[in-house]
Amino acid sequence: MGKKEDIGRIAEQRIVALYGQAKKTTDGELSHAYISLLRNISKHNRKRIPPQIKNAFCKSCDRMFSKSGSSTRLSSSRGYLSVKCGYCGKERHIFYKG
Ligand SMILES: [Zn+2]
């Protein structure tokens, strides 16, 4: 196990921790700040954001769907969920299997 791997693991832990904070806070701007930060960590460390976290926020404005007043539509024939961000209006398709 090299040093690089350790850094990767720390980065992942920080991403998960920041997401937990973003989810917990009732302050929309603070939540936004946490999401921006975790995305930066992911970028700098070339660490992928776990899918369950990635699907929970809007990529164009870094705000959590659960806090932006988003609307979700199920497109079962195509196998995805369509989530529209309540903040910037961007639509996102979340694919699922089955
Ligand atoms: Zn958005």
Report pLDDT digits (tens) over 4-51.
Answer: 778 889 999 999 999 999 999 999 999 999 999 999 999 999 999 999
87 alpha carbon – ligand 1 mean position (Å): 5
61 alpha carbon – ligand 1 mean position (Å): 4
- Give the per-residue pLDDT at 2: 66
> What predicted TM-score, i.e. pTM, was given to this entire model?
0.85
The average pLDDT across 55-71 equals 93
18-39 burial: b if 16+ Cβ within 10 Å, else e: bbeebbebeeeeebbbbbbbbb
56 alpha carbon – ligand 1 mean position (Å): 11
37 alpha carbon – ligand 1 mean position (Å): 16
53 alpha carbon – ligand 1 mean position (Å): 15
